[in-house]
Amino acid sequence: MNMKKILFGFAVLFLIVGCGGPDRSSDLVVIDAGHGGHDSGAFSGGKKEKDLVLKIARKLYKELKSEGYRVALTRNTDRFLKLGQRTRIADHKDAKVFISIHANAIANKSRYNIVEGVETYFLQKTRDARSQRIATRENASVLQGTDKLSQDVIVDSVLAGPKVIHSHKLAIDVQNGMMKSLNSKYKGVKNGGAKPGPFYILVGASRPSILVEVGYLTNPKERARLHTSGYQDKIAEGIAAGVGRYLDNRKSQQGF
Ligand SMILES: [Zn+2]
């Protein structure tokens, strides 16, 4: 071993021992702002889902960076990405987790004031009609320009793997993180829970992947809150807290 290697070894040891807090610089989190470009996503009250989720994605990016994580955004401008482009970055850069951010909407106007809340999805088939409806809406844009032929085969192969268990755990931690963060400042935020759903965006990345629905743009009260910077901050802080909790737990289980 030459002198350079010895010095390098000391430098690494110094960094590990000296920093005190957890070393998160090796943990890459990929954040996907849903929709973009010609695909506006949900649209209500003059506001577009694609713009709201980009704002939240940017806030989450900053939050996670400040906590020491490596972070990548699938898009940082108003542009459309195909399904493969969104998930490829997570696989190429060996991300620890993949988080797709969306906002919800319903078609039935008579229920606009009733249906609200924050939900987090992990990839799993479900019999729940509402989850299926939400997935169908989100999938429609994701599948633009994508070959539909083998989607079911892909879903089945993913569901057989260990990714589902970890994605479920990640979804619970992120959902809890968001609710705790939002409840610290806002009253009456509805907890829609961590739920299974057949979202194609979660199929491609071969690592724990979740889709966050930050609230319903069709609900007047929630829409007004969602478009304030303070509410967006609390969502970003909550997601970051959930990601941190999940990754810390996973590391301790693996004996790091
Ligand atoms: Zn969406």
Please state the domain extents for the chain: 26-103+134-253
Architecture of domain 26-103+134-253: 3-Layer(aba) Sandwich (3.40)
**The CA-based dihedral angle spanning residues 196, 173, 52, 111, taken in that order and rounded to the nearest 10 degrees:** 50
> Closest Cα partner for 199 from 117, 142, 243?
142
Over 60: is that where the pLDDT of 140 sits?
yes
Predicted local confidence at residue 146, as pLDDT: 54
Predicted local confidence at residue 218, as pLDDT: 96
Over 70: is that where the pLDDT of 148 sits?
no
How far is C-alpha 230 from the chain's CA centre?
19
Predicted local confidence at residue 80, as pLDDT: 93
pLDDT classification of 255: cutoffs 50, 70, 90: low
Largest CA distance in the chain: 74
Span from the CA of 39 to the centroid of ligand 1 (angstroms): 9
Span from the CA of 7 to the centroid of ligand 1 (angstroms): 50
Span from the CA of 8 to the centroid of ligand 1 (angstroms): 46
Span from the CA of 36 to the centroid of ligand 1 (angstroms): 10
Span from the CA of 80 to the centroid of ligand 1 (angstroms): 12
pLDDT classification of 17: cutoffs 50, 70, 90: very low
pLDDT, the chain, mean: 86
Compute CA distances 106 → 41, 103, 113, whole Å. 12, 11, 11
By the 8 A CB rule, do 217 and 104 touch?
Answer: yes
Span from the CA of 200 to the centroid of ligand 1 (angstroms): 12
Over 50: is that where the pLDDT of 16 sits?
no
Token representation of residue 131: 């989850």
Predicted local confidence at residue 87, as pLDDT: 82
Over 90: is that where the pLDDT of 206 sits?
no
What is the share, in percent, of the chain residues with pLDDT greater than 70?
82
How confident is the model over 212-229, as a mean pLDDT?
97
Of 38-42, 200-204, 245-249, give the lowest mean pLDDT range: 200-204
Span from the CA of 40 to the centroid of ligand 1 (angstroms): 8
